[in-house]
Amino acid sequence: MDEAKILVTGGAGFVGSNLANYLATDNNVVVIDDGYLGTPENLDDAVEFHNRSVLDDDIPTDVDVVFHLAALSSYAMHEDNPCRGARVNVEGFVNVVEQARTDGCDTVVYASTLSIYGSRTEPSPEEMDVTVNTGYEASKLARERYGEYFSNHYDMSMAGMRFFSVYQGYGGAEGHKGEYANVIAQFADDIANGESPVLYGDGTQTRDFTHVSDIVRGLELAAEHQLDGVYNLGTGESYDFNTVVEMINEELGTDVEAEYIENPIPESVYVHDTCADYSKIGDATGWEPEISFDEGIRRVCAEYHDELPAETQLADGQS
């Protein structure tokens, strides 16, 4: 991206801080975050940080590009307080974009969600019919509709990015998310510490796991090309949770078995399988995933190799 002034909302969080730090190498990057799922410790010194909510009326939107990533980003967060979820995810989005528009910014790239596709083992294209089963999904679909409004009414470039299961591991900025981190981070940390990872059901559910570095490249390209509409960011490949546990054990040289429990999320709303069709953003920008799943698992596990407790390691000669 040519040198620009950039605002990243939710920029001290997992995806946001990875994006902000990456862009700050060649751009003037400003971040706002209220600290709910982020911490300024995730940010490089080159990034300008403001402790601020997306609901505030003095957001620093005098910029060239807004990356709007701030959100309550899970089913559980919304079920705990649906009104707060709607305020942050919908009203917060409109508030940020309207302030940006007033300040002359016409390029916004924002986070949507894969969840609205429901459970699918085949790659999901953006044009397929979608449904809403949770407050979280409703808030993200509302965000897309408001994006359409700003595009059609004010001729803004509004690119909604439907992320597929973004991961990095606790060795990166994902560590601050704790229990809300991707299952890969949680499973790897459990196994490295000799604890059984907890899998819902029988572990056959699948996810299109996408490394955060590929997500960051996709976001940057969406802004560079001033994309409009909605786009998938995923790999087009899916892995089940049992396989993830096996691969982590293999990478760490451990033999920790999983624990299986009844799924606490109602079957009617639980997304069992996901897979992205990323051809739309590929055709528009040339983007494609670069981090293979094997490489991604290796990166997640790298921080643990010198820290494994002896009791979790396989004895010589075992496999």
* Residue 308, pLDDT score: 59
- Please state at what angle helix 241-252 crosses helix 293-302, rounded to 10 degrees: 50
Which CATH number does 5-167+209-233 carry? Answer: 3.40.50.720
Name the 3-class secondary structure at 32.
strand
* Residue 268, pLDDT score: 86
* Residue 34, pLDDT score: 96
* Residue 79, pLDDT score: 86
* Residue 2, pLDDT score: 73
Q: Residues 132, 263: contact at Cβ < 8 Å?
A: no
* Residue 37, pLDDT score: 87
What's the half-sphere exposure (Cβ side, CA atoms, 13 Å) at 61?
27
* C-beta contacts of 173-181 below 8 A and 24+ residues apart: 173/13, 173/14, 173/17, 173/18, 173/42, 174/14, 174/212, 176/13, 176/14, 176/37, 176/38, 176/39, 176/41, 176/42, 177/13, 177/14, 177/37, 180/37, 180/73, 180/74, 180/76, 180/77, 181/14
* Residue 314, pLDDT score: 42
C-alpha distance from residue 14 to each of 21, 170, 238, 286 (Å): 11, 10, 22, 25
Which residues of the chain form CATH 3.90.25.10? 173-206+237-276+291-312
Which residues of the chain form CATH 3.40.50.720? 5-167+209-233
Each residue's pLDDT, cut to its tens digit, for the chain (319 residues) gives: 778 999 999 999 999 999 999 999 999 999 999 999 899 999 999 999 999 999 999 999 999 999 999 999 888 888 889 999 999 999 999 999 999 999 999 999 999 999 999 999 999 999 999 999 999 999 999 999 999 999 999 999 999 999 999 999 998 899 888 888 999 999 999 999 999 999 999 999 999 999 999 999 999 999 999 999 999 999 999 999 999 999 999 999 999 999 999 999 888 889 999 999 999 999 999 999 999 999 999 999 999 986 655 544 443 332 2
Q: Residues 205, 241: contact at Cβ < 8 Å?
A: yes
* Residue 318, pLDDT score: 27
* Concatenated DSSP letters of 155-173: --EEEEEEE-SEE--TTTG
Architecture of domain 173-206+237-276+291-312: Alpha-Beta Complex (3.90)
DSSP 25: T
